[in-house]
Amino acid sequence: MTGSPRAGAICGAIVGVFLAWATGSQRVFTPSPNAIELRSEAEFNEVLEGNEIVLAAFHSDEPAERGKANRVFHELATEYAGRVAVVTVSADKFGNLAAQYGVTTVPVAKVFLGGKLHETIFGLHAREEYRRVLDELLAGKEKAK
The domain locations on the chain are: 1-30, 35-144
Q: What is the mean pLDDT of the chain?
A: 85
The pTM of this model reads 0.77
* Cα distance between residue 100 and residue 22, in whole Å: 41
8 Å CB contact between 25 and 57: no
What pLDDT is recorded for position 31?
83
* Of 64, 69, 50, 62, the residue nearest 107 (C-alpha): 69
Domain 35-144 has CATH 3.30.1540.10: no
pLDDT at 69: 73
Crossing angle between the packed helical segments 63-79 and 127-144, to the nearest 10 degrees: 30
Q: What is the pLDDT of residue 71?
A: 87
Tell me, what's the pLDDT at 26?
53
